[in-house]
Structure formats: structure tokens, C-alpha cells
Structure 1
Amino acid sequence: MARAYKSSSAGTPAQQRELRAQGRRTMRKLFDAGMRVFAERGYHAARVDDIVRAARTSHGTFYLYFANKEDLLRALAVECAEDLTKLADGIGPIGPDDDGYEELRRFLSGFVTTYRRYGPVIRAWMEDQVADREIDRLGVKAFTAIGARLGERMREAGVDIAEDERAAVGALMAMLERVNYALASKRMVVDEDVMLDTLARIIHRGFFGAPAGPAP
């Protein structure tokens, strides 16, 4: 017998019942369709009709899992916030040496992967596209966790980056988000490994005290 399942990242209707394997697959199909539609049309222009069509399912099926498109975005935001928080928790020491560079690049690669998957959700956070304060709170909490961990790693590296650490961390987070937005929107076309190497060098030298010179 298939095991029942409940998830905090399910939509409001789905949270009121236990989902089995088929239900989880259907919800994932709606998640993926919603992400594609939000990416292609933007959150405000997207309609439930578009999501249903992309998922090749019915309106009735959609409303078994989500109350509306905002409910779908909220569920995606929960999942995205969980992944970003795990990414923050996994950031190891970033010193000015080669090991620090490799750890920084590993984190950046994970951030790029997460942004590629959840770009529409992150842009909704950054551009204040939704009025739902819970969705906004999830984004603030997740990005604060990453910023706090990076600030901690800067202090451990002994870098006096600025009189106001919050300004330094804010500048770093803004750079990360904008670079990833440019990549996701195709406004910047560059090989991903080249971009990661370049970004890692800039951040390592500018924020973690690495000496100028050839890349590790």
C-alpha cells in the first residue's frame, strides 16, 4: 500500500488531505508547469488557463491542489526557501586561500542552480510582485540566512570589508541576484563555467581578502 504524504510546500487544498504517489506526481507536474509559465509570461500575466495547458491537465485537477495562481506561487516559494536555507547552511569556511576559493565557487554553483530552477519565484520576491506577506517573508528569511552566513565567513577570514557589514553583504547579495537574472533572462550570454570562475575571483578578492593574481 502506498504511503500517504503531507508537505508544507503543497497548495492550500492539498494540505487538507494526505497525498499518495500519484497525487505527488500530479502536484510536481503543476509545479513544473507553473514555473515555466511564470518564467515565460511573468507572474502577473500568467493565468491558471496557461498553467493547466502547460501541465496538460484540467482546471478541476488544478483546484484540487491549489486555490489560485498565488497559492501555487506560495507553495513554490516554500520549496525555494527551503532549498536556499539548505544552501546557506552548507557554506563552509571561505578564507583567502585556494581552499576558500573552491568553497566559494561551490556555493556560487549551487546558487546558480537554485536560481535557474526557481528564478520566477526569486524575481517575484525581489521585484515585490505579490501582495502576499507570507510569500515576501519566506524570501526575506531565506536571503537573510545566506547573507548572514556569508557575513560570518567574511569575519572569519579577517577581512575589514566595510564599516557597515550589512552594506557589504547587501552589495554582494544584490550582485549575485542581478548576475543570475541576466543569465536566466538571456540578457547575458556566457559559458556558465567561465561566469562562475569570473564571479568567484571577483568576490574572493573583493570580499574575502584573496590576493590579486592568477586564479587558483
Structure 2
Amino acid sequence: MTARSAQAHRDTSPVGSTPDKTRRPGYAPVTNVGVGRRGMHTRDRILACAADVFLTHGFHSTSLDTIAKAANASRATVYQYFAGKEDIFRELSTSAGRDMLIHGEHLGELGPTVAGVEELHRWLADWADIYDTHAAVFAEFPGIGTATGLSVIDTGEVAEQYRLMVTERLRHAPLDGLDLHDAAAVLGRIPHMVNLYRHRAMFPLPDRSVVSWSLTVALQLMLFPDTPADILRAAAPQVVASAGTPSAVVEPTAAITRVAAVLLSPIAQDVLSVSSALFAEHGYYAVSMEEIATATELSRATLYRYFSTKDRILAELTRRAVAEIEEHAAALPQMAQSSLRDWMLRYVRFHRNYRGVIRAWLDGTVAEQMSDADIDHGIGAIQRAVAALLDTVALPVGIEPQVAVAVFLAVLGRMNEPTAAAEADSDERAAELMVNLLRRSLLRAA
């Protein structure tokens, strides 16, 4: 991961970030009826400035004072239009959700034809526009396809509507060897993650137009692996010449010092295990030290003897996750294709065990708190391993190697989750699906 966007507020309190100052009564009217054109202009300016601040600092490290300063307004002025930063973010989130649902409705007919590839490309290019427009919102969520988000925003309804909408659009597509719900998950999750990598410059990627075309080819082959190469050439000529360029990899920022595993007491081990599960279910910021103490059946005083703050728990979980991810990364480039499923199954189990921690890494404001662990090294290790593996295969025509790495990482990061609400969760099924998607697209020539 490259340099992060901004310094974040460090959570040193036992229970998490300090909320906004208590709002003084009488600032805002019950409704903003009749604010007039000037008032709407001020309101829109506050929203736009808040989006920039949220994107730079993250929701939890942003105060209402920061938003007011960015908008060149007083707290009193902001309160004339919004009840607090949660209200502002809720409106930004509503706008993003509305655009996503409209986007889902506009998915046209897909298939192994030039028209089908061009339609997929148009839709993915629109996806990139939407991501860039609402990046402040998308940065706070794991992505479309899951219900987990901020505690102040319920994203589950929009995510489910979007999933059902895309599923219905694909119902009559000539999918072969891929379940309908799996195909919908591909279109919902992988573009989100690739655009996240692109927007945050987490590792080298070409310009947005090349990313969109290469992503189009990769997803086209995941959905329709029998799409002829001449159709891909005809639909995406501008990226054909890029295929075969050596993949750029993220160099480690510093060699990680191997430290002997810390021998923790059973109580501390239990705290880590419970915390990891809570972070995965609710998100790092939504979990308090008090909730961790309750879940581990400890008093707060006892918990603080082992971990004085929540970020210390995350730091220790990160240290352990980085050590494991480096082991997985080291094994990947030498992995025979016949053994890829076994590697993937181990990776799925690792990722599910640490998914709350890994999601926290993607939040720059959380990552800034990780003084005791090198997150960049963990993410960089798997990125370099994927690039090394893909350098050993001939990528399909039209897929730029750096984008291929991003697509591979998106599969690792998001396709291990269940793809349908009623689907039974299984490590084995997830690993099988992930290998299938990669063999249909990036690893087909291996």
C-alpha cells in the first residue's frame, strides 16, 4: 500500500473515538423548509466539503468542527442544515445508494459477443464514475454485496436490492458452468475492490480507461469463458498491445523483523479470538472495549490489564495476520495448478479468521494507528506473490498484467463470502468458486 491520504486521529481511549461535542439546543429547525436558493447552495457546499474531509480522514476521525472549517462555515451554520456528522454521512450514503441502484438497473444484455463485451465495458466504466463520485462513502464499507458497514448507516437494504437486481439481469444470460448468484457476486464485488485499489493507489495500476477495459475482459471470461479471442480483440483493441508487459510489484518498504511468537496467557488469547470475531461481524469501529469485555466474560479492569486500548488488540491481531499471510504468499508462486485448490482452501480459512482485521487495513484511518505492525508488508507480500504467479502464465488477450493482479486480489478478498442469502456457508465451496473464477479468466492458459 502506498502512502496514506492523511494522518488520522489515534484512538487511545479504552472505548474508542470521542464523539462530536454535544450539540447545543436551538441551532437547527425541525425541517429545512424554505431555506431558499442561497441556503441550498450553502447546504450543498457543506455536503461537498464533508465528502472531501471524510475521504481524507475517514468518518470516525472527522469532527463536525473539521467539516465546518472546510466549508468555511460555523458549527451553528452546519447545524441549520444537519443534525450532526452522522446526518451528513447518511445523506451522502443515500445519494451513493441511489446511484448504485440506478446503475444496477442499467445493466444490459451480456454474452460472448462483441455487443455483450461492449455492454459490459460501458457498465463497468459507469461503475468507475460512480465510485469516484462517491468515494468517501464507498471507502467506509466493505463494498456492495455485504450488509456490514458503519453503525450509523444501514447498508444492508441497498446491498440486497443491488444483488437481486443484478441477479435478475443475469437470469437469461448464457452462463455456462457458473451459478447465477456467483455471477452476480462477480459483478457486484470485484469491480468495487478493483476501483478501491485504483482510487487509493494501493499498488501500481495504469490509467482508469485501461483498468476498465482490462477489468471488462477479465469479468467477461469469468462469466463467459468461451468468448472467442477475436471478439475480445474487436471489442477491446486498446489494451491488446499492453498484454504481456511485466507486472509491476510493490517493493517492501522495509524488511520485517521476525519476532518470536509472544506467549500470551489463555485469557489474552481468548480476548484476541473474541475481538477478531467481533471485528469481523460488526467492524472495528463499531466494537467497544466494553463489548469485548462482556463477550470474554471479563471485567473492564481485567481486560485493560492485558490490552490497555482497542488499537493494541488490533495491532497484535495484525502482527499475527501478517506473519500468516507471508507464509501463504511464499507458497503461491511455486504452487502447481493441481495444488491451487488446496492453497486456496487454506487461504480462505485464514481470511475468514482475520476478515475483520483485513477489512480494517483497507481503512486508512485505522491503518494509521498500526504503529506496532507493518500492514504494508502484509498486503505487499500477497501482491508480489500474485504478480510472480501471473508472470508464469500467458494472460488472455486484452488483460493488462497490473490489472490482472488487482483482479486476482479482488477474488481473494471478496469472493470468499457467501454469494446468496440462503446459501450454506462453506470454506470448501468458497475455495472451489475462487479457483474456478481464476481458471476461467486469468489462469486459463496455465
Q: Structure 2 length as normaliser, TM-score?
A: 0.42
Q: Deviations over 1:37-86 (max 9, x none)?
A: 11100111011111111111111110011111111000111111111111
Rate the CA distance shift 1:13–1:148 in 2: closer, same or farther, 3 A: farther
Contact map agreement 1:96 1:157 (CA 8 A) in 2: no
Which residue number corresponds to residue 131 of structure 1?
151
The one-letter code of the counterpart of 1:38 is: F
Rate the CA distance shift 1:69–1:13 in 2: closer, same or farther, 3 A: farther
> What is the root-mean-square deviation in Å for CA atoms of aligned residues?
2.2
Stretches of 4+ aligned residues off by more than 6 angstroms: none
Which residue number corresponds to residue 85 of structure 2?
69
Matches within 5 A, 1:14-93: 15-93=31-109
Q: Which has the larger radius of gyration?
A: 2
Q: Deviations over 1:103-148 (max 9, x none)?
A: 111111111111111122123232745212xx22xx3333334333
Gaps of 5+ in 1: 1-11
Query: % of aligned pairs identical?
Result: 25
Query: Is 1:184 the equivalent of 2:204?
Result: no
Contact map agreement 1:157 1:209 (CA 8 A) in 2: no
Query: Is 1:94 the equivalent of 2:117?
Result: no
Structure 2 CA distance, aligned partners of 1:161 and 1:120? 37
The one-letter code of the counterpart of 1:147 is: R
Contact map agreement 2:112 2:228 (CA 8 A) in 1: no
Among residues 166, 170, 181, which one is paired with 1:150 in the alignment?
166
Greater share of residues in helix: 1
Gaps of 5+ in 2: 1-27, 236-446
Contact map agreement 1:44 1:129 (CA 8 A) in 2: no
Contact map agreement 2:101 2:162 (CA 8 A) in 1: yes
Structure 1 CA distance, aligned partners of 2:118 and 2:165? 17
Contact map agreement 2:101 2:161 (CA 8 A) in 1: yes
Structure 2 CA distance, aligned partners of 1:15 and 1:208? 51
The one-letter code of the counterpart of 2:217 is: R
Query: Is 1:105 the equivalent of 2:121?
Result: yes
Structure 1 CA distance, aligned partners of 2:175 and 2:93? 33
Rate the CA distance shift 1:118–1:151 in 2: closer, same or farther, 3 A: same
Q: Structure 1 length as normaliser, TM-score?
A: 0.83
